[in-house]
Amino acid sequence: MTNRIKKIFSDRNKKLVTFVTGGDPNLIDSKKIINTLATNGADIIEIGMPFSDPMADGPIIQLSSNRAIKAKIDLDNIFSICMNFRKKNNKTPLILMGYYNLILHYGIKKFVRKCETYGVDGLIIVDLQPDEDTELLSYIKSTDIDLIRFITPTTNSKRLSTILKNSSGFLYYITITGITGQQSADFKVLKKSINKIKKHTNLPIVSGFGIKNEKDVKKICQICDGVVVGSSIVKIIQNNLNNTNKAISIIAQFIKKLKQGTIQ
């Protein structure tokens, strides 16, 4: 498996990373939505693994997880979404994002093997601390799967070096202290933090949480290597649950606009 994440960051262009919950609002429509993200400008796609207690997620993403769970979406369905996507697209990196409990329950070895089989390029495990990741790392070290870490405005230098030790792919900088989809980033704090982190690593830094529109994307891409937009996309799905074609059409236009914001 080629390292698609490394390849996507090999030029100097800013990247648009998009997030949706896998299986929201149902399996068939979710596959269509994820394909739409890629064809309209998403450089990397994060697929949320539905979980009943997503502690880092705001109400919009929590509700999307609930919808997917009600639609009986499990990890095998998530892998079927990845498989479907890879039939059409072998270029755009796919990242699975979620909570460690799901992986433990599924079986770490089996999970990593399925990620390799179905073209998953990276993992973001929200509640897996660097001090507790030895077992997962032991299974992914012989693969091309990246383990992507969070860094927050409160991360100090000592913690940063621990986080960087086994990080790969890119770093996910959380622009706010709080949950997804809420307040916007403080640009001055963001700039200072990113400059500090860049002194310690060559990994690309992508910012997420609180980034809602093209204007936010443009501003944050001035100092970061890319942005993550999630809640605003999931909100479109939520607002059009009875009309998937309309949701897909709105998402397509929205992604095109966001992508424009990455052009500096």
Sequence-ordered list of residues with C-beta below 8 angstroms from that of 161, at least 6 positions apart, any chain = 200
Angstrom distances, CA of residue 5 to CA of 9, 17, 215, 238: 6, 11, 25, 29
Of 24, 29, 46, 121, catalytic: 46
CA neighbours within 13 Å on the CB side: how many for 164? 16
φ, ψ of residue 207 in degrees (nearest 5): -105, 140
Task: Quote the pLDDT of residue 181.
Answer: 46
Domain residue limits, the chain: 4-262
- Is 11 part of the annotated catalytic residue set? no
Sequence-ordered list of residues with C-beta below 8 angstroms from that of 119, at least 6 positions apart, any chain = 1, 82, 83, 85, 86, 90, 94
Distance CA 134, CA 259 (A): 36
- Is 46 part of the annotated catalytic residue set? yes
Helix/strand/coil percentages in the chain, nearest 5: 50, 15, 40
Task: Quote the pLDDT of residue 221.
Answer: 95
Record the tokens describing residue 239, joined without a space: 């607002």
Which secondary-structure segment (H or E) carries 57? Answer: none
Of 43, 57, 121, 146, catalytic: 57
Task: Quote the pLDDT of residue 56.
Answer: 64
15-21 and 122-125 beta bridge pairing: unpaired
Neighbours of 121 (CB within 10 A): 27
Distance CA 62, CA 67 (A): 9
> What three-state secondary structure class fits 114?
helix
Q: What length is written for the chain?
A: 264
> Quick check: 20 and 37 in contact, CB under 8 A?
yes
Task: Quote the pLDDT of residue 175.
Answer: 86
Neighbours of 198 (CB within 10 A): 16
- The CATH number of the domain covering residues in 4-262: 3.20.20.70
Cis peptide before 153 (omega within 30 of 0): no
Tokens 């403080």 correspond to: 186
Candidates 189, 205, 100; CA nearest to 150 is 205
Q: What is the pLDDT along the chain (264 residues), one digit of tens a residue?
A: 568 999 999 998 999 999 999 999 999 999 999 999 999 999 999 999 999 876 667 789 999 999 999 999 999 999 999 999 999 999 999 999 999 999 999 999 999 999 999 999 999 999 999 989 999 999 999 999 999 999 988 899 999 999 999 999 999 999 876 555 445 667 788 888 899 999 999 999 999 988 889 999 999 999 999 999 999 999 999 999 999 999 999 999 999 999 999 997
